[in-house]
Amino acid sequence: MMLFTEVRGLPVVPPDGAGPLGTVTSLTVDVVTGSVSHVWWRGGRFGRETALPWDAVGAVGPGALRVRSGSRSGGASASAPSHHDLLGRRILTDTGTGRGTVLDVAFDTRTARLLALFTTRGELPADRLLGLGDYALVVRAG
């Protein structure tokens, strides 16, 4: 298990470990599956942000995020989904009640499944996620 805040800033390294490709900037979540779908990273000093599909990630640890062997051009995705960062996102229930903001998210680094959301109002189980948009993260009330 790792937290989103632990993954941010990790170097993205190729399978051969020959120098970093860039640095992780954020993670995209697929609310329907309840898992991380893409890793966003920025390469070089003025490099643009690139999306890496989760299936191109070989391993994630406290020292680096390693790209899976066989991923071309670092596994960069030409068809990345729209990205809404969960960290700092306002939380609303499906009935419209505010539930604070997201401070961090725990996820399984092997399966990419979300485990829990840590919010300004306590912990929320990941299975309560319903939607994510420009304005807020929507969770099931209860």
Indicate the pLDDT class of residue 73, thresholds 50, 70 and 90. very low
Pair 64, 11: CB distance under 8 Å: yes
Pair 51, 77: CB distance under 8 Å: yes
pLDDT higher than 60, residue 23: yes
Tally the domains of the chain.
2
Indicate the pLDDT class of residue 80, thresholds 50, 70 and 90. low
**Percent of residues, the chain, with pLDDT higher than 70:** 91
Q: Minimum mean pLDDT among 46-55, 68-77, 127-136: which range?
A: 68-77
Q: Which residues contact 105 (CB under 8 A, 6 or more apart)?
A: 3, 4, 27, 29, 86, 87, 114, 116, 117, 118, 126
**Residue range 63-78: mean pLDDT, rounded:** 69
Which of 75, 100, 121 is the C-terminal boundary of a domain? 75
Q: Which residues contact 80 (CB under 8 A, 6 or more apart)?
A: 28, 38, 51, 53
pLDDT digits (tens, 9 = 90+) for 102-127: 999 999 999 999 999 999 999 999 99
**Residue range 49-53: mean pLDDT, rounded:** 92
The answer to whether residue 16 is domain-embedded is yes
- The domain containing residue 112 runs over which residues? 90-139
Same domain, yes or no: 95 and 70: no
6's tokens: 């632990």
pLDDT number for residue 82: 76
Same domain, yes or no: 111 and 46: no
**Residue range 52-60: mean pLDDT, rounded:** 95
The answer to whether residue 26 is domain-embedded is yes
The answer to whether residue 8 is domain-embedded is yes
The answer to whether residue 106 is domain-embedded is yes
List the CATH number of the domain containing 110: 2.30.30.240
Pair 60, 47: CB distance under 8 Å: no
Same domain, yes or no: 63 and 97: no
Q: How far apart are CA 128 and CA 121, in angstroms?
A: 15
The answer to whether residue 131 is domain-embedded is yes
Helices marked H in 71-133: none
The answer to whether residue 83 is domain-embedded is no
**Percent of residues, the chain, with pLDDT higher than 90:** 74
The answer to whether residue 85 is domain-embedded is no
In this prediction the pTM is 0.88
Which of 75, 103, 120 is the C-terminal boundary of a domain? 75
The answer to whether residue 82 is domain-embedded is no
